[in-house]
Amino acid sequence: MKVVLHTEKKFSGPAGVPNWADTLFNHTSGSIHLPIQGALDDLALFSRVVRHQFVHALFHEQAKNGSTSPPTWLVEGLAIHLTEDPWPDMEESRQKSPPLMPLPSLHGSWVQLPSTSLSTAYLTASAATQHLIERYSMYTVRQLMDVLMTGQPLETAMQQKLSVSYEQFQRQWAQSHKPQMSASSS
């Protein structure tokens, strides 16, 4: 894994929104690019961003052998969970209780998502991943990721490791977050 420190670029971005942090990982080269000028001004944010990027780099490295990538919502949810630090904008968004997005809409690249939806996308990813961990354990989620990293489809991996279909998982998750799910996901 390669980490490039950009001493001439200022470390700044929206206060804690993970989508800003995700622009720092280059999927093509598998390298992390960190602007470091002024990074010590907000050491907590810098630390959170570095940890988030590191999780992406680990998943990227592990997925090299697989033919497909795990769904973006799961990768982002795990990156958020494993940083062990709440993103301030997500916490603010969570308190507003926005309707969560349907998981299938968060499988591929999030580049096409409107910028106004990104906070909700990350909140949805975080909530779905947290539900997955609470219901099935982090150990089982790790096993699920191992199967996904071999290129298996999500449906196959969930059936194999969780003994539920992806559709069943989505229904379980929707039931546990009924007040927060948008009308389009029920």
Which position has the higher pLDDT, 46 or 128?
128
Q: Which domain holds residue 108?
A: 2-185
DSSP string of 36-104? Answer: EETGGGGHHHHHHHHHHHHHHHHHHHHHTT-SSPPPHHHHHHHHHHHHTS--HHHHHHHHT-PPBPPGG
Whether residue 166 has pLDDT greater than 80: yes
Number of domains in the chain: 1
Instruction: Place 141 in a pLDDT band, splitting at 50, 70 and 90.
Output: very high
Half-sphere exposure of residue 101, counting CA atoms within 13 Å on the CB side?
Answer: 21
Lowest mean pLDDT among 16-25, 43-52, 141-150: 16-25
Q: Are 162 and 74 in contact (CB under 8 A)?
A: no
Query: Which pLDDT does position 132 carry in this prediction?
Result: 95
Query: Which pLDDT does position 184 carry in this prediction?
Result: 42
Half-sphere exposure of residue 159, counting CA atoms within 13 Å on the CB side?
Answer: 7
In tens, the pLDDT along 67-114 reads 667 899 999 999 999 887 667 667 777 777 778 899 999 998 888 888
Whether residue 36 has pLDDT greater than 80: yes
Query: Which pLDDT does position 178 carry in this prediction?
Result: 62
